[in-house]
């Protein structure tokens, strides 16, 4: 009897595993949207719930820019890294609790580095807490008509109750271009420079696909490889959302294929708001994406150069490069062989840690978790957050000088002038 029960349990687990694998073997969601009209050109399962991962940060950006537009803050407003923010897992900047960064620099880091600690810093500064900011995110999502979304954090780290859809991510992507056109440079930064450190974007389309100018990638094991991408051609802008792909390469090539198909097609006929919501929870892609014993998979796909298919690669990606939904098959690998270029060199946009020169306004921090005694640009780990000093001096020299006068409190010298607004990555 005991052996029989074990056999029945094993059979049940096997059937559950096969059902899960079958569900996850379905084609993953995507949508191609005309930014100007809000009409759908192509779509597949675009209203199915999905874990958005770091695509969440587009919603964080939207709420932050709304606060700037409403004059509750400015881009020069300093926000403070809390203990909670500092404890966030990677991807992160690793700034010490009490460190200050302007909202402008935080948003640049958010979009390029996709830093989870900076997302929490923004949330706590503008919302008082992660929970308060999440309420603002959900309120904004409701106003925008994002019917399949619910947010519990500003960075997209996995939570069963944190989900969205391809349709909803296309809505917020379009809303950013529509409502904040003056800030569109945030979406297309190819690299940042923080002291001696160069931080490249994760977006494999920037500088590679003609006309690509944004917006955000995302990855967790439960979500797979996601992207919201934008590109313009002949005065027509398309926004493409791809969710749940098995690798950064597959994500980039599928997105390029969909952009090709979208630009080759006529105008869409279906308003995005009229797409009916699909029932059911978001699938967990961890077994398929990361495997049982693979804790982390790199998101960066800068190394992708589609020159030759590896043996067996077509089989691995076969379910991801099928029909576009318009009746015409688009093979992602073949369609983009001549479209994608090799890794580009971007002119990095400068960012810095600390307050803007001459700032005399308020400093925003989490409720009950304000600046600590080490609250300065000098409180960074190693050379990761090096800040240029006046007259060309660097942080290490400032610390050395402070040690000679132990009785005196180390002073932070004047910060360098903030860099000009970010330039869109060159293509």
Q: Could you report the per-residue pLDDT of 77-110, keeping only the tens digit for each?
A: 999 999 999 999 999 999 999 999 999 999 999 9
Q: What is the pLDDT of residue 343?
A: 65
Q: What is the pLDDT of residue 299?
A: 54
Tell me whether residue 241 is exposed, middle or buried, using C-beta atoms within 10 angstroms of its C-beta: 0 to 12, 13 to 18, 19 or more.
buried
Is 165 tagged catalytic?
no
Sign of CA dihedral 305, 309, 313, 317: positive
From the candidates 46, 91, 99, 114, give the one annotated as an active-site residue: 114
Is 134 tagged catalytic?
no
Q: What is the pLDDT of residue 267?
A: 86
Q: Which residues of the chain have pLDDT under 50?
A: 1-25, 300-338, 370-427
**Cα distances (angstroms) measured from residue 349 to each of 76, 254, 327, 386:** 16, 29, 42, 15
From the candidates 57, 216, 254, 415, give the one annotated as an active-site residue: 57
pTM of the model: 0.76
Ordered domains of the chain (ranges, CATH): 26-350 (3.40.710.10)
Is 397 tagged catalytic?
no
Q: What is the pLDDT of residue 27?
A: 63
Count other Cβ atoms within 10 Å, centred on residue 348: 19
Q: What is the pLDDT of residue 290?
A: 87
């Amino acid at each position: 009897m005991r052996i029989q029960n074990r056999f029945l349990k094993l059979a049940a687990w096997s059937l559950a595993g096969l059902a899960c694998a079958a569900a996850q073997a379905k084609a993953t969601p995507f949508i191609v949207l005309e930014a100007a009209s809000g009409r759908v050109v192509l779509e597949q399962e675009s209203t199915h719930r999905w874990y958005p991962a770091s695509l969440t940060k587009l919603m964080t950006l939207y709420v932050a820019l709304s606060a700037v537009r409403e004059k509750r803050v400015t881009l020069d407003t300093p926000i403070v890294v809390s203990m909670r923010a500092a404890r966030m897992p990677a991807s992160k900047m690793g700034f010490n609790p009490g460190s200050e960064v302007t909202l402008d620099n935080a948003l640049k880091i958010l979009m390029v580095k996709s830093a989870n600690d900076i997302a929490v810093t923004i949330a706590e500064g503008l919302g008082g807490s992660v929970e308060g900011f999440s309420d603002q995110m959900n309120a904004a999502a409701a106003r925008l008509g994002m019917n399949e979304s619910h947010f519990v954090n500003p960075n997209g780290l996995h939570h069963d109750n944190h989900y969205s859809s391809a349709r909803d991510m296309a809505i917020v992507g379009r809303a950013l271009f529509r409502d904040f056109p003056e800030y569109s440079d945030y979406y297309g930064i190819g690299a940042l420079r923080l002291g001696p450190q160069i931080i490249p974007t994760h977006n494999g389309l920037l500088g590679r696909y003609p006309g690509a100018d944004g917006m955000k990638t995302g990855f967790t094991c439960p979500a797979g490889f996601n992207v919201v991408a934008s590109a313009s051609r002949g005065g027509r802008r398309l926004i493409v959302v791809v969710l749940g792909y098995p690798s950064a390469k597959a994500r980039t090539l599928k997105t390029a294929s969909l952009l090709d198909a979208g630009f080759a097609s006529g105008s869409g006929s279906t308003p995005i708001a009229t797409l009916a919501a699909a029932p059911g929870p978001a699938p967990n892609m961890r077994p398929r994406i990361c495997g049982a014993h693979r804790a982390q998979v790199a998101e960066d796909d800068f190394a992708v150069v589609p020159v030759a298919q590896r043996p067996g690669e077509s089989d691995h990606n076969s379910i991801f490069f099928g029909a576009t939904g318009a009746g015409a098959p688009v093979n992602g690998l073949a369609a983009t062989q001549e479209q994608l270029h090799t890794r580009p060199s971007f002119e990095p946009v400068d960012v810095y840690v600390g307050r803007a020169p001459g700032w005399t306004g308020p400093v925003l921090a989490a409720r009950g978790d304000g600046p600590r005694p080490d609250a300065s640009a000098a409180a960074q780990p190693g050379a990761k957050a090096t800040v240029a000093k006046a007259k060309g001096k660097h942080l290490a020299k400032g610390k050395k000088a402070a040690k000679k006068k132990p009785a005196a409190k180390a002073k932070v010298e004047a910060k360098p002038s903030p860099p000009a607004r970010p330039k869109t990555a060159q293509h």
